[in-house]
Amino acid sequence: MKHTISVLVKNEAGILSSVCDLFSTRGYNIESLTVAATVDTTFSRITIVTTGDDVVIEQICKQLNRLINTIKVVELPKSADKCIDRELILCKVTAKDEARSEILRIAEIFGAKIIDVSPDTYTLEYSGDNRQVLAIITLLRPLGIKELVRSGLVAITRENQFVNLNK
């Protein structure tokens, strides 16, 4: 079962290693991980997608909380009416002859942007939830994906579900 954990940490060197070490020493799996400073740049937000049963996820959250430099650990709700998640992908696709117009059609359907063009390729930029991202990749794959870069998931709760430093 996939879980998304949002971790607010002090923006200090080494904290990312501590978080990753915690996963590796206990044999927990990281599916994706993103990190960047928050609005207050002395703090960073780490968004981790991981798998495990409820007992494992509870342990992960407790262990993350135990790190001295973590401020807050929240397991984000799974339902889309409580939480919004997005992933950014950059995808370089082989684009020759008829494929060029097919790629443009797919891009249009998904609302993806073409950010680079060459005689043989298109590079697309697209962001969406996990399902949408997988869908566009599935459609582009038969056309020949030369390179695919995914940002990993970021997520935010909907209004009134504050995931913030209580100050």
Partner 1 sequence: MSAESTVRIEKMTGARMFLECLRKEGVDKIFGYPGGVILHIYDELYNCDFIKHYLVRHEQAAVHAAEGYARITGKPGVVLVTSGPGACNTITGIANAYYDSYPLVVFTGQVDTRLIGNDAFQESDIVGITRTCCKHNYLVKSIADLPRVIKESFHIARTGKPGPVVVSLPKDILTSRMEFEYPEKLNLPGYNPTYEGHPIQCRKALKLLCEAQRPVIISGGGIIHSEAWMEIRELAKKLNIPVATTLMGIGTYPQDDKLSLGMLGMHGNYWANLAVSNCDVLFAVGTRFNDRITGCLKRFCKDAQVIHVDIDPCSISKNVHVDIPIVGDAKNVLNLMLHEYNTGKYSYDYNMRELWVKQIESWKLNKAIRAVENGIMSPQTVIEHIYNKTKNMDTIIATEVGQHQMWTAQLYKFNKPRQLITSGGLGTMGFGFPAAIGAQIASPEKLVFNIAGDGSIQMNIQELMTCVDYKIPVKIAVINNGYLGMVRQWQEKMFNKHYSQTPITSPDYVKLAEAYGILGLRITKDDEIDAALDKAIAYNGPVIMDFVVEPFEMVYPWVLAGKPLNEVLLSNLEKGE
Residues 30, 35, 57, 71: which binds partner 1 (CB under 8 A)? 71
Q: In the chain, where does DSSP find H-type helix?
A: 15-25, 54-66, 98-110, 130-144
Residues 4, 47, 70, 123: which binds partner 1 (CB under 8 A)? 70
- Backbone φ and ψ for 163, nearest 5 degrees, come out as -120, 80
Q: Is 59 in the site for partner 1 (CB under 8 A)?
A: yes
Q: Is 9 in the site for partner 1 (CB under 8 A)?
A: yes
Largest Cα–Cα separation, the chain: 58
Q: Is 66 in the site for partner 1 (CB under 8 A)?
A: yes
List b or e across 43-62, with b for residues whose CB sees 16 or more CB atoms inside 10 angstroms.
bbbbbbbbeeeeebbeebbe
Residue 14 CB contacts under 8 Å (≥ 6 apart), including other chains: none
Q: Is 67 in the site for partner 1 (CB under 8 A)?
A: yes
Site string for partner 1, 26-55 (x = CB under 8 A): -----------------------------x
Residue numbers of the site for partner 1 (CB under 8 A)?
A: 9-10, 13-14, 17-18, 21, 25, 55, 58-59, 62-63, 65-71, 165
